[in-house]
């Protein structure tokens, strides 16, 4: 019996779409007047699927939810599609403050809630927002990859330091709580390992504006690191990573 896939099987495999939900570190337009870019703009170079980048600068899991962007994806996602969710850079702070910025999540995890100090609205935890979104997609037989946020410049000041943010573990928790069809990819640790190998000068060169947003070259490397992390894992996106991508960590 032939082990080769039939043309029909190959056609079916090519149909899924990869959707990206995140902040400016992933977003198409990036930030800082073109000096920086989001890694989501480069991930199509590493996968064999069509990519729809729905990441928006300045968003957190909370504000992305409140503005209806998770729902926008839900309206178009279909069975077999894959959604990558990556937040964290804008999720810190205190929502109970009178100057609540509408982005800070309630501290803690799970069903814990807070009240906004600005308008009294209910604020949920980081993992609650992501788990809820993930479940809505898996209910339509799509797959979800909850990805930990990219690190800031780990060589800032000339000394390597890679302390993971609390949102890394919360992203892992969100994926676990979402259940069947949801997976976790540690993008933070992949990029951190890459930066350690790159060293001080090469890493600092990737941050032309601040310690969070990378240059287009840095965004491409972050996309490469994400693809490599997926390639080393076992999730529905793994078979769609292009063969022989560069090894960056």
Only one residue has tokens 């890459």, namely: 194
Q: Is 213 a known active-site residue? A: yes
| Residue of 69, 94, 189, 210 marked active site | 210
Looking at 89, 124, 187, 213, which residue is catalytic? 213
d(CA 119, CA 106): 14
Question: What is the token pair recorded at 164?
Answer: 């993971």
CB 206 within 8 A of CB 10: no
Is 119 annotated in the active site?
A: no
Burial class (CB in 10 A: 0-12, 13-18, 19+), 137: buried
> Of 23, 24, 63, 100, which one is the catalytic site residue?
24
Q: Does 210 qualify as catalytic in the annotation?
A: yes
Q: Which residues of 21-59 are buried (b: 16+ CB within 10 A; e: fewer)?
A: bbbbbbbeebbeeeebbbbbbbbbebbebebbbbbbbeb
CB burial class (10 A; 0-12, 13-18, 19+) of residue 197? exposed
Whether 137 contacts 144, CB under 8 Å:
yes
Cβ atoms of 169 and 131 closer than 8 Å: no
Give CA–CA dist 176/172, Å, rounded. Answer: 6
Distances (CA, A) of 90 to 86, 179, 234: 11, 25, 29
Instruction: Kindly list the catalytic residues.
Output: 24, 210, 213
């Amino acid at each position: 019996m032939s082990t080769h896939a039939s043309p029909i099987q190959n056609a079916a495999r090519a149909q899924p779409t990869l959707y990206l939900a995140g902040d400016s570190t992933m977003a198409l337009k990036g930030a800082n007047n073109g000096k920086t870019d989001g890694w989501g703009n480069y991930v199509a170079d590493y996968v064999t699927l069509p990519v729809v980048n729905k990441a928006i600068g300045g968003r957190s899991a909370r504000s992305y939810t409140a503005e209806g962007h998770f729902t926008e994806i839900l309206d178009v996602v279909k069975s077999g599609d894959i959604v990558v969710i990556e937040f964290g850079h804008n999720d810190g702070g205190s929502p109970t403050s009178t100057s609540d910025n509408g982005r800070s999540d309630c501290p803690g995890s799970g069903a814990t809630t807070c009240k906004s100090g600005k308008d009294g609205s209910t604020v949920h935890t980081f993992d609650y927002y992501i788990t809820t979104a993930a479940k809505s997609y898996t209910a339509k037989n799509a797959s979800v990859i909850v990805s930990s946020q990219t690190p800031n410049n780990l060589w800032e000041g000339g000394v390597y330091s890679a302390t993971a943010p609390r949102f890394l573990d919360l992203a892992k928790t969100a994926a676990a709580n979402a259940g069947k069809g949801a997976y976790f990819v540690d993008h933070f640790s992949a990029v951190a390992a890459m930066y350690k190998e790159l060293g001080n000068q090469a890493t600092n060169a990737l941050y032309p504006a601040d310690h969070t947003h990378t240059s287009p070259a840095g965004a491409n490397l972050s996309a490469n690191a994400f693809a490599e992390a997926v390639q080393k894992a076992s999730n529905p996106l793994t078979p769609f990573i292009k063969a022989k991508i560069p090894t960056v960590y």
